């Protein structure tokens, strides 16, 4: 069975730059973060703190640009959740993927992500990352809490640390699932290649209006 | 004395200007190199031959006619201080773990009083009398010898071996201190580390015995022992921090402001005996380190170990074994391999430590002391003083302490610690008669406490806040002392403290790792099935 495919430019250069820088920074922060948490000794506590904090600031700058990019280009629309195709996508992962059924979803410039991805990435962007950011920034500015009136509200370092670690575990969960699910393309490396080059091969007949 | 204020660590950030101005103000307001305007060697009143030390005082007050009035109002004279919370503290009222009580021993204790000996009964207060000016204003470094040795001080107050070592030295090396009283009187001047130290470095029975952070190594301190006192450091004397107004000195441990102090001082009021008064509360170059100063006292990191100057401090004193005499029924002294008195008939067994690690506790600056006759804790250790503070009160900081364990006599009937009558000419004095029942009876009587005659010994503990012997910054505690997987866990025993990197939430780690593991197994299973079905499709 040979599908007729076309190459479409799915991920723009900034998107790819954002994705990979973020990936490196998050993994670096996970490694140093769990060292700071006391799970193991790798860089030494002081160095781990430095790497963690510098990475955090770099990521914050990156995210400011990324949020701006999402809003100005309308890219945020790719993360608006939809019911359409959601059941098929879930069924595909539970059944079709084993029987060799065709992918129910194919990326297009209008919809880069399948309905499950939309939900997962949205949760990542509006829940996990804000959670780890908010707790992380509070952690970082611990000594200003009194001036901000947070101490009176009963906020403690312990609470913030627990939330931060909890969010870190959630992010790790996401990472494991993400690393696995990107292997579920037509070939194991299809999606990874797309994120590196920006170009993805999509079946022609699947698009309603093939752009030949 | 020169203050190298340019060598104080540069302050970064928003308060730089404030502290800069403060430092300039501070050091210009306090005359650090004071050229005297009076040459005492030319005063007629000091040209006479003095035959005893009290005559010197009479000559001093001839000119310094309000000095005595000032001194009579001070803690150094009264040994009695009324705190804001209504407590009446000071040596006169509280006990310690060394020579625990003053009542009945006042005459021996008087060797460190700034007068010329104390009355037999001082429980109602120390009456104004002639003040020994040279005790603090001698510059020759010899006066203390006259004061303590010609004025009949009890040897065992300062020498655990009953001054045997000193007596031997005098025999072999001859009299060391030969300056005349007149020469000393003519060279009076400002107080010095030597004058303060002649009492404060030798209390507790020997050099360095009591405080742990104060001993004779500070007379000529190495930079590594004390960055402030060392000539290679700030070259301070005691009074650089413990300044005085009308002879009343700042910085008594009964009023430990060091903890709560989080501001610099006005240039007009001079230094205060706290770290922050000169350094501010964010003096470090690393802002994350500065973030610690809200709950960690400066001393905690910057006095990583104490008794570092080569002089050991006492860690244990067992009064219960005192009284063992030698074959000729004379008191004996045993010396350990380091040359320290490990046993003395007068005192019992003693243990020492050098380079000791402090214990750390929340401290809000208040300390509850006990009076003679304090109730014994029958369930364990009786605390001679109780460190006040908690993680919750918003003002406490984690502070380092030296602790000594002392085995003290108590009345088994009333469950009260019993004052000991140690020194004096009577056979009731333990150091004469070696008889506890008599000693305790006399001690109790002097303190106005009932003694049933039945006694035993109990374990007590005393805590001393550590403020001195600040180490060079390179030796300060690093992150690893408290944080991280391979940490020394220094503050693990401090209650109510969340220390990042000490894995205090085992449940969080347990469920977190479990969730990761399940996710991993899930995707691994899914992937395996995918691969298997894919392989099977190819076979068909």
Strands B313-318 and B88-89: unpaired
Residue A212 lies in a domain: no
Find the residue in B nearest to A142 (Cα).
Answer: B291
Nearest residue to B78 via CA among B125, B35, B117: B125
Summarize pLDDT for B372-399 with one digit per residue, the tens.
999 999 889 999 999 999 998 889 999 9
* Phi and psi based region of residue B62 (left: phi greater than 0; alpha: psi -120 to 50; beta: remaining): alpha
What pLDDT is attached to residue B162? 79
Look at residue B37 and tell me whether its pLDDT is greater than 70: yes
Interchain contact, A45 vs B515, CB within 8 Å: no
Say if CB A211 and CB A11 are below 8 A apart.
no
Q: What share of chain B is helix, strand, coil (3-state, %, to 5)?
A: 35, 15, 55
- Is residue A96 packed enough to be buried (19+ CB in 10 Å), middle (13-18) or exposed (0-12)? middle
- Nearest in space to A93 (alpha carbons), one of B80, B529, B504: B529
B512 to A97: CB separation less than 8 angstroms, yes or no: no
The verdict on a CB contact (< 8 Å) between A44 and B484 is yes
Domain tally, chain A:
1
CB contact under 8 A, A44 and B480: yes
DSSP B183-210: HHHHT--S--HHHHHHHHTTGGGSTTTT
Looking at residue B128, its pLDDT comes to 94
Q: What is the pLDDT of residue B448?
A: 93
- pLDDT (0 to 100) of residue B153: 67
The rounded Cα B194 to chain-centroid distance in angstroms is 17
Is A100 within 8 Å of B533 when comparing Cβ atoms? yes
ipTM: 0.87
In the predicted model, is pLDDT for residue B29 greater than 70? no
Q: Evaluate whether residue A189 is within a structural domain.
A: yes
pLDDT digits (tens, 9 = 90+) for A39-93: 999 999 999 999 999 999 999 999 999 999 999 998 888 888 888 888 888 888 8
The yes-or-no verdict on residue B295 having pLDDT over 50 is yes
Predicted local distance difference test score (pLDDT) of residue B267:
57
Name the token pair of A195. 């994120």
- Strand-pairing partners, residue B316, are B351, B405
Which structural domain, as residue segments, surrounds residue A39? 5-203
pLDDT tops 60 at residue A186 = yes
Residue B360 pLDDT exceeds 80: yes
Residue B72 DSSP SS3: helix
Residue A120, φ and ψ in degrees, nearest 5: -60, -45
pLDDT at A103: 83
Alpha-carbon distance of B531 to B540, in angstroms, equals 15
The alpha carbon torsion through A145, A150, A155, A156 (nearest 10 deg) reads 20
Does the pLDDT of residue B176 top 80, yes or no?
no
Assess contact for B28 and B304: CB atoms under 8 A. no
In three-state secondary structure terms, B358 is coil
pLDDT-derived band at A34, boundaries 50, 70, 90: very high
- Percentage of the residues of chain B whose pLDDT score is greater than 90: 60
**Residue B511 distance to chain A (closest CA, Å):** 9
pLDDT at B23 over 80: no
Of B485, B533, B534, the CB nearest to A39: B485
pLDDT for A6: 80
Q: With CA atoms as reference, report the closest residue to A206 among A122, A114, A121.
A: A114
Is there a contact between B484 and A39 if contact means CB atoms under 8 Å apart? Answer: no
Residue B111, pLDDT above cutoff 60? yes
User: In CATH, what number is assigned to the domain containing residue A31?
Assistant: 1.20.950.20
Q: What is the mean pLDDT of residues B340-358?
A: 95
Confidence of residue B33 (pLDDT cuts 50, 70, 90): low
- State yes or no: pLDDT of B95 exceeds 90: yes
Distant-in-sequence, close-in-space partners of A34: CB < 8 Å, separation ≥ 6: A40, A168
CA distance B300 to chain A (A): 18
**Residue (of B163, B64, B67) closest to B114 by Cα position:** B67
Residue A205: per-residue pLDDT: 58
Question: A48 to chain B: which residues are within 8 Å by CB?
Answer: 484
pLDDT at A82: 83
Q: Examine the pLDDT at B14 and tell me if it is beyond 50.
A: no
pLDDT band at B431 (very low <50, low <70, confident <90, very high): very high
**In chain B, what residues touch A45 (CB-CB under 8 Å)?**
479-480, 483-484, 487, 501
Residue A211 maps to a domain = no
Among A98-102, A182-186, B11-15, which stretch is predicted with the lowest mean pLDDT? B11-15
pLDDT (average), residues B101-106: 88
Longest CA–CA span in chain B (Å) reads 125
The pLDDT mean for chain B works out to 87
pLDDT the model gives residue B489 = 86
Q: Which of A57-66, A104-113, A157-166, B339-348 is least confident?
A: A104-113
**What pLDDT is recorded for position B503?**
67
Task: Verify whether the Cβ–Cβ distance A176 to B523 is below 8 Å.
Answer: yes
Residue B504 with chain A: CB contacts under 8 Å:
158
Residue B285's contacts (CB-CB under 8 Å, 6 or more residues apart) are B9, B10, B12
A17: pLDDT strictly greater than 90? yes
Cβ-based contacts under 8 A for chains A and B: 91
Q: Which of B121-125, B173-177, B264-268 is least confident?
A: B264-268
Domain boundaries, chain B: 40-210
Token digits for B475? 């030796």
Instruction: Report which of B312, B348, B366, B319 is spatially closest to residue B97, judged by C-alpha positions.
Output: B319
In a domain, A134, yes or no: yes
DSSP code for A127: I
Q: Which of A103-107, A124-128, B229-233, B294-298 has the lowest mean pLDDT?
A: A103-107
Q: How far is B251 from chain A (nearest CA, A)?
A: 28
Residues B303/B400, Cβ–Cβ less than 8 Å: yes
pLDDT(B179) > 50: yes
pLDDT at A118: 85
Is the whole-model pTM more than 0.95? no
pLDDT score of B62: 92
What pLDDT is attached to residue B7? 39
Structure-model confidence comparison of residues B357 and B157, the more confident one: B357
Assign B256 a pLDDT band (cuts: 50, 70, 90).
confident
- Tens digit of pLDDT for each residue in B328-345? 999 999 999 988 999 999
């Amino acid at each position: 069975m040979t599908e007729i495919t076309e190459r479409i430019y799915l991920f723009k250069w900034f998107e790819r730059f954002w994705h990979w820088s973020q990936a490196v920074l998050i993994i670096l922060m996970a490694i140093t973060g769990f060292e700071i948490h006391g799970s193991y000794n790798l860089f030494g506590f002081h160095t781990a703190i430095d790497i963690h904090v510098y990475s955090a600031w770099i990521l914050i700058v990156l995210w400011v640009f990324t949020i701006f990019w999402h809003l100005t280009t309308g890219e945020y629309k790719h993360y608006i959740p939809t019911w359409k195709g959601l059941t098929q996508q879930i069924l595909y992962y539970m059944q079709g993927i084993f029987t060799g059924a065709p992918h129910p979803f194919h990326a297009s410039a209008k919809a880069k992500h399948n309905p499950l991805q939309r939900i997962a990435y949205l949760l990542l962007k509006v829940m996990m990352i804000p959670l780890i950011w908010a707790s992380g920034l509070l952690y970082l500015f611990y000594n200003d809490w009194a001036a901000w009136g947070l101490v009176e509200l009963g906020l403690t370092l312990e609470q913030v640390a627990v939330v931060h670690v909890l969010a870190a575990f959630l992010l790790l969960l996401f990472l494991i699932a993400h690393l696995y699910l990107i292997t579920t393309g037509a070939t194991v490396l299809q999606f990874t290649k797309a994120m590196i080059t920006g170009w993805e091969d999509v079946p022609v007949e699947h698009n309603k209006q093939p752009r030949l | 004395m020169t203050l190298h204020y340019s060598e104080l660590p540069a302050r970064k950030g928003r308060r730089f200007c404030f502290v800069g101005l403060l430092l300039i103000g501070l050091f210009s307001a306090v005359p650090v190199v004071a050229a005297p305007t009076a040459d005492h060697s030319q005063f007629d009143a000091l040209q006479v031959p003095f035959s005893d030390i009290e005559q010197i005082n009479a000559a001093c007050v001839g000119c310094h006619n309000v000095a005595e009035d000032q001194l009579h109002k001070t803690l150094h004279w009264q040994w009695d201080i009324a705190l804001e919370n209504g407590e009446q503290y000071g040596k006169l009222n509280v006990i310690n773990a060394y020579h625990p009580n003053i009542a009945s021993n006042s005459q021996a204790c008087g060797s460190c009083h700034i007068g010329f000996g104390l009355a037999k009964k001082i429980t109602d207060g120390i009456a104004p009398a002639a003040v020994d000016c040279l005790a603090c204003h001698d510059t020759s470094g010899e006066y203390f010898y006259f004061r303590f040795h010609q004025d009949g001080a009890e040897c065992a107050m300062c020498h655990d071996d009953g001054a045997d070592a000193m007596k031997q030295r005098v025999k072999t090396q001859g009299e060391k201190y030969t300056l005349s009283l007149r020469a000393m009187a003519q060279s009076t001047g400002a107080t010095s580390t030597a004058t303060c130290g002649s009492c404060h470095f030798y209390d507790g029975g020997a050099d360095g015995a009591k405080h742990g952070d104060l001993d004779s190594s500070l007379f000529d301190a190495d930079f590594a022992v004390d960055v402030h006192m060392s000539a290679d450091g700030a070259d301070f004397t005691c009074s650089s921090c413990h300044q005085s107004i009308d002879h009343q000195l700042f910085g008594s441990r009964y009023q430990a402001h060091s903890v709560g102090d989080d501001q610099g001082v006005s240039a007009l009021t001079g230094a205060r005996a706290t770290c922050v008064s000169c350094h501010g509360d964010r003096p470090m170059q690393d802002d994350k380190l500065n973030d610690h100063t809200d709950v960690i006292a400066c001393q905690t990191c910057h006095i990583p170990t104490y008794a570092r100057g080569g002089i050991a401090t006492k860690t244990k004193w067992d009064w219960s074994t005192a009284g063992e005499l030698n074959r000729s029924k004379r008191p004996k002294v045993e010396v350990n391999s380091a040359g320290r008195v490990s046993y003395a008939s007068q005192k019992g067994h003693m243990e020492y430590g050098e380079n000791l690690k402090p214990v750390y506790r929340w401290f809000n600056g208040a300390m509850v002391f006990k009076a003679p006759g304090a109730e014994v804790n029958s369930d364990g250790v009786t605390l001679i003083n109780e460190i006040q503070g908690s993680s919750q009160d918003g003002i406490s900081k984690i502070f380092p302490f030296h602790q000594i364990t002392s085995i003290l006599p108590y009345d088994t009937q009333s469950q009260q610690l019993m004052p000991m009558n140690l020194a004096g000419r009577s056979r009731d004095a333990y150091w004469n008669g070696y008889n506890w029942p008599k000693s305790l009876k006399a001690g109790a009587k002097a303190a106005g406490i009932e003694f049933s005659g039945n006694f035993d010994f109990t374990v007590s503990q005393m805590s001393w806040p550590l403020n001195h012997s600040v180490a060079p910054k390179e030796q300060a505690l690093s992150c690893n002392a408290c944080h991280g997987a391979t940490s020394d866990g220094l503050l693990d025993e401090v209650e109510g403290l969340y220390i990042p990197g000490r894995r205090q939430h085992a449940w969080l780690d347990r469920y977190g790792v479990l969730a990761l593991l399940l996710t991993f197994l899930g995707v691994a299973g899914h992937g395996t099935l995918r691969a298997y079905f894919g392989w099977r499709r190819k076979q068909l």
